[in-house]
Amino acid sequence: MTDQGTHTVLHVGGASPYDVVVGRALADRLPGILGEAVQRVAFLHAAELTELAEPVLRVLREHYDVLALGLPSGEATKAAEVANECWDALGEAGFTRSDAVVTFGGGATTDLGGFVAATWLRGVRVVHVPTTLLAMVDAAVGGKTGINTGAGKNLVGSFHEPAGVLVDLDTLLTLPREELVAGMGEVVKCGFIADPVILDLVEKDPDAATDPHGPVLPELVERAIRVKIDVVVADLKETGGSDGHPGREVLNYGHTMAHAIERAERYSMRHGEAVAIGCCYVAELARLAGHLDDATAARHATAFGAVGLPTTYSGAGFDDLLAAMRVDKKSRGNTLRFVVLDEVAKPVVLTGPSEEHLRAAYDVMAGGAA
């Protein structure tokens, strides 16, 4: 971590190193990241953020020919037809391998824009400018891109690391409260899997943890990004960790159930909300399987609930959710895999839990009591 005035630079090492810059008013840093060889930039942005995007667009237009492409809102943008429209636009504009993509928006925009960059001419430079807390700590870092299909979420995608990420905290000042709270789902998750200080900060003062004007939220953002960087650098393509650590798969803590819930809700539930519920579910599953003590399992509902996130769900039946979990990316054949905790910051993989435990954990999730 390197402090440069009001900016913090978090370096991502590995075969394709890049920096994540956390600060305010960062648009002027874009040309330095994109480089002099770039002539054209496709600016893929959430259509409803046109006004918020103006400072970034202004800087880009001073240096490049800019093709601005507005995208649908939310998960609707992560569709094959939207990607195809972007490819057609790049082709008509004559984009070459030396040109670049800049994304501006939440996690869905980042996922779709990264996928377009990864697949156009087998890969062009991309810089992410995430505008939601969720995208800042999750989608924008790590190089995962993807779109959804009728079979599930993120089943089509590619690894494509960005040339850089600009985390402009000023965008959180205009973020709707419910979106900011939803983003805390991934932040608190990082506390459980790797950084207990995150949990301490959240539990000590939940209001400060969700205040975009104060000093606590920026610290939480940096800590959560650092967790993801450390995991990704050690295991870029989710091939596995060492010494029993799940590797990059640890970032999917709570996500097997979360993705099943999102599918059941036809992606109308915010991702961070589903993650909070999924983490509470898998904590109970770990408790039933003898991995996690009662107090730490219960702490999940306390920590997520403290910032206003949901911790229970009964909108779909067990059998439907189980079927959805079986097509999750982390499954092996018909065998379910879950990242669970032995204790805070001690993750392991639980393979093939019994249906009895899966159902009992669902009953707690649906009813909210052990």
Count CB atoms within 10 A of the CB of residue 179: 16
- Under DSSP, the state recorded for 291 is S
Q: Indicate if 248 belongs to the active site.
A: yes
Q: How far is CA 11 from CA 44, 127, 158, 228, 327, in A?
A: 24, 15, 22, 12, 34
Does 329 show up as a binding residue in the annotation? no
Q: Indicate if 144 belongs to the active site.
A: yes
Instruction: Give the 3-state secondary structure percentages of the chain, helix then strand then coil, rounded to 5.
Output: 50, 20, 30
Count CB atoms within 10 A of the CB of residue 31: 16
Distance of alpha carbon 367 from alpha carbon 355, whole angstroms: 18
Does 172 show up as a binding residue in the annotation? yes
Count CB atoms within 10 A of the CB of residue 261: 24
Q: Tell the residue number behind the tokens 């790797």, with chain if given.
A: 194
Active-site pick, 160, 226, 259, 287: 259
Active-site pick, 252, 270, 273, 299: 252
Active-site pick, 29, 189, 248, 337: 248
Does 110 show up as a binding residue in the annotation? yes
What angle separates helix 196-204 from helix 177-193, to the nearest 10 degrees?
Answer: 140
Does 78 show up as a binding residue in the annotation? yes
Does 73 show up as a binding residue in the annotation? yes
Counts of helices then strands in the chain (DSSP H, E): 14, 12
Does 70 show up as a binding residue in the annotation? no
Active-site pick, 228, 287, 299, 300: 228
Does 173 show up as a binding residue in the annotation? yes
SS (H, E, C) 244-271: CCCHHHHHHCCHHHHHHHHHHCCCCCCH
Active-site pick, 29, 125, 144, 270: 144
Does 109 show up as a binding residue in the annotation? yes
Q: Indicate if 11 belongs to the active site.
A: no
Q: What angle do CA 352, 282, 234 make, to 5 degrees?
A: 80
Active-site pick, 238, 249, 262, 273: 238
Does 240 show up as a binding residue in the annotation? no
Q: Is the dihedral of CA 187, 193, 198, 203 positive or negative?
A: positive
Does 8 show up as a binding residue in the annotation? no
Does 144 show up as a binding residue in the annotation? yes
Q: Indicate if 357 belongs to the active site.
A: no
CA-closest candidate to residue 119, choices 160, 88, 151, 148 = 160
Does 268 show up as a binding residue in the annotation? no
Does 319 show up as a binding residue in the annotation? no
163, 139 contact by CB (below 8 A): no
Q: Indicate if 273 belongs to the active site.
A: no
Active-site pick, 160, 189, 255, 291: 255
Q: Environment class of residue 239 by beta-carbon count within 10 Å: exposed (0-12), middle (13-18) or buried (19+)?
A: exposed
Does 292 show up as a binding residue in the annotation? no
Q: Indicate if 186 belongs to the active site.
A: yes
Does 153 show up as a binding residue in the annotation? yes
Active-site pick, 122, 213, 266, 332: 122
Does 15 show up as a binding residue in the annotation? no
Does 242 show up as a binding residue in the annotation? no
Distance of alpha carbon 105 from alpha carbon 209, whole angstroms: 22
Active-site pick, 29, 40, 160, 186: 186
Binding residues: 73-78, 107-111, 131-132, 144, 153, 171-174, 186, 255, 271
Binding residues for NAD(+): 73-78, 107-111, 131-132, 144, 153, 171-174
Catalytic residues: 122, 144, 186, 228, 238, 248, 252, 255, 259, 271
Binding residues for Zn(2+): 186, 255, 271
